[in-house]
Structure 1
Amino acid sequence: MALETVSANKAFGGRHEQYQHHSDVLNCNMRFAIYLPPQAERNPVSVVYWLSGLTCTDENFMQKAGAQRIAAELGVALVAPDTSPRGEDVADDPDGAYDLGLGAGFYLNAVRSPWDKHYRMYDYVVSELPGLIEANFPVSEKRSISGHSMGGHGALTIALKNPERYASVSAFSPISNPINCPWGQKAFANYLGDDEQLWRQYDATELMLSSDAKVPALVDQGSADQFLAEQLRPEALQSAAKTTGYPLELRMQEGYDHSYYFISTFIADHLAFHSRYLMSDS
């Protein structure tokens, strides 16, 4: 699969690069960003995949989180895909709303028309993108996954559904129980239809209640997040973890909101958390 370089910059002794490629899974051209730490010049490094939230692209995390310095110190690569398929023939919310369509792929495989033609972000993140990264860059098959808001939902559900593929998972302000919040209900009804059993397959709280394998999980949630009560529902996730004994550490951070100021404050904790599991021999 051919990669087209979009940009390349040196940062903290490593390389931040953007690429475009055709995605067979999504049936469109896609873009991703990768940060390779200086250690990748000598040996393959492990990877933390980052999934961004509503309205974002591959650029938000790489430009705002301040993660490259920490990744360089720890010797891990960062990969950030876009948040949805893109292109002139890719379906979008008919009203132009921000929470469906472009920039709002919800990291699932749509089954309803017109979304099913392109909106298969779950397969893209789980299979196609890692295959592309591992075939073209000096990285190992050791992976962790993280994300914010809609991307936190994606990271948690993907890790819970594929525990053999990820050493650890973390999230900032995740949509923890989408079957019970307006963002999730709108997206799931459009992408997945009326089958609520299918909805549950993309709900982190529901998956945590039924999970046998345990991927270590860290979640940070700001107490001043404007979406906390209506959309995010971290208490549901915490309750599920207590019920099943799931290894979840959920930290409420006093006074922090939903922004990248919050993410940049605690991103070092998250990358250090992932590094511990990625460097483990188990």
Structure 2
Amino acid sequence: MALSNNVIGAINFVAMLLSIPIIGAGIWLATETDNSCVKILQWPVIILGILILVVAIAGFVGGFWRVPWLLILYLIAMLVLIILLACLAVFIYMVTVRGSGHPAPSRAYLEYNLDDYSGWLRRRVRSSYKWDRIRNCLSSTSMCAELNQSYRMAQDFFNAHLNPLQSGCCKPPTACGYTFVNPTYWISPIDNAASMDCLQWSNEQTQLCYACDSCKGGLLANLKKEWRRADIILIITLVGLISVYLIGCCAFRNAKTEDLFRKYKQGYT
């Protein structure tokens, strides 16, 4: 029984370690500009990671100090958390399966269309109430101002590999036909009716294309890239937790079997 309990405790120590990548993924998301402005995924990931850590600690204590009710609580709670983690990983995959950038003529960077992305993600940015808060957060960063320091010539800018946020928010869409002066200042064409985004562009440095659908599309493209990376971490950790949980269940069952056998022998003798 003692050996089995020690094995259960060691297994739960591994589960404690597996919670660290989940918490780390949530903290990483929270430090990214777009996720810190949108505030959708990072807290569920961090909270789930902390809960897994707490439950694993309970299993660790129950294993080494032989507290059966704590081990049973661990087995039930960890199963629930594994299911929640699996649901979260599948959800992230489903909402990020759609959407990608589109090439523009004579441009190295891509253009982004809001309608390419999943309906759930679009609803996070469509309402003016939600977008006003996100837009104010994005416009307070230096991501667009940094382009002016990096690219002086038009061709250098056109050959730049901008990230989705910079492409969608810091410049007008290529289809509008604006003339480059610097990355955040463009001369309006005679006919700017190619799309509503063309009318939304402003050379005012606090406005730019933050009101454009292309900016919303660029934001979702950035979220998709970062959420997919976080999802890979969650899936790998999920596989590890399932393996640890199954081994723990077997060890707990063996411990109970040994305990029953020992009591049987004592009663028989």
Asked if Structure 1 and Structure 2 have the same fold, meaning a TM-score greater than 0.5 normalized by the shorter chain, the answer is: no
TM-score tier, shorter chain, comes to under 0.3
More helix by share: 2
Report the TM-score when normalising by structure 2. Answer: 0.24
More strand by share: 1
Report the TM-score when normalising by structure 1. Answer: 0.23
